[in-house]
Amino acid sequence: MTASSSSPTVVDLRSDTVTRPTAAMRAAMLAAPLGDDVFADDPSVNALQEKIAGMLGFEAALFVPTGTQSNFCAILSHCQRGDEYIVGQMAHCYRWEGGGAAVFGSVQPQPLDHQPDGTLALEAIEAAIKPDDAHFARTRLLALENTLGGKLLPFDYVEQATQLARRRGLARHLDGARLFNAAVAQAAQRGTDARTEARRIAGCFDSVSVCFSKGLGAPVGSALCGSREFIARAHRIRKMAGGGMRQSGMLAAAASHALDHHIERLAQDHLLARRLADGLAGLPGLQFEAPQTNLLFVELTGEARSRSAELVPHLKQQGVLATGLYRLRFATHLDVDAAGIDRAIGAIRSFFHA
């Protein structure tokens, strides 16, 4: 565990949102010049917005408190009342964001089933686009997520799906909460670098949401990127949603530090997730796919399934935190090291050998 962890005796694998700011990040926060972002004069917020927009190839960006609000602002900026967006059944902006676009924006989701690799079948997207008829909501937007459940969407697919959307007159939004995890994994495949691949992925979309408080390790915040006109609309929606913050430059400085120092190190998290999977391989009662990024999902099978409710409490007693019942999620992050992963492996194995 690193010095920034809440406790040296706990291996917290519940999420990559549990990280604490590093000492260098805290120093950057304390040194941040501040203004009032509602008046658009916080220099640290403005610098962050320019930085992330430039990195991903967009004209502008908007700093928001959460990824949920970022997706909400995006959907309502692309769509009007009575419109709909096509999205996956397991996409965060559909399943785990309280239905905000439908509740507050009167924008209807059209969820589609995922294929095993996390993609939405191109023919299913095509079939879901409604004809221009008063009986139907107007299909305006395709929303994808990368990574999805820790899986990297194949770049060829991303190109094909977004080209289909453009051809059919749909806007394209990416929930890139873990965009840089996707970029690191894609860079390893293509022999390039993560920043190049992040920009390559983002270039397929009209808008991209990026979270700073997951693998990048900032305490809070996301950014929505797009054209200047699009971000102006999103800014108005952020105001209505209560997302206008004042001296938020301290938070923006943490995000800027993360962009400068924490992108390439995500490869370490990916290696640790594979280390965890290797350590659990062959254990009867566990089933999982090899992780592609920093998330490992584990399902209890056979006789072990009947004891699923006991596993998380058992791990907690061993100083390992996880989430889930019969399907667990383990997330590696900058506050976990190889010793912590080995401890988690031992704790899980002890449950099955008890």
Q: How far apart are the first and last CA of the chain?
A: 27
Checking if the pLDDT of 49 tops 90, the result is yes
Task: Say how far apart CA 214 and CA 177 lie, in whole Å.
Answer: 8
Average pLDDT over residues 250-267: 98
Nearest to 153 by CA among 167, 172, 138: 172
Average pLDDT over residues 124-153: 97
Residue with tokens 């993609």: 119
Task: Report strand pairing: 171-176 vs 207-211.
Answer: parallel
Tokens standing for residue 187: 């860079």
How does the average pLDDT of the chain come out, rounded? 95
pLDDT of 86-138, one tens digit each? 999 999 999 999 999 999 999 999 999 999 999 999 999 999 999 999 999 99
pTM equals 0.95
Instruction: Please count the CA atoms within 13 angstroms of the CA of 43 that sit on its side-chain side.
Output: 5
**128: part of which helix (H) or strand (E)?**
helix 122-128
What pLDDT band is residue 277 in, cutting at 50, 70 and 90?
very high
Give 241-257 as a DSSP string.
Answer: TT---SSTHHHHHHHHH
194 with 266: CB under 8 angstroms? Answer: yes
Contacts of 316 (CB under 8 A, 6+ apart): none
Checking if the pLDDT of 3 tops 50, the result is no
Instruction: Please count the CA atoms within 13 angstroms of the CA of 52 that sit on its side-chain side.
Output: 33
**285: part of which helix (H) or strand (E)?**
none
Q: What is the pLDDT of residue 352?
A: 87
Average pLDDT over residues 190-197: 98
Report the b/e string of 216-243 with b at 16+ CB within 10 A: bbbbbbbbbbbeeebbebbbebbeebeb
Checking if the pLDDT of 307 tops 90, the result is no
Domains in the chain, CATH or no CATH each: 11-19+265-353 (3.90.1150.10), 32-261 (3.40.640.10)
Q: What is the pLDDT of residue 305?
A: 87
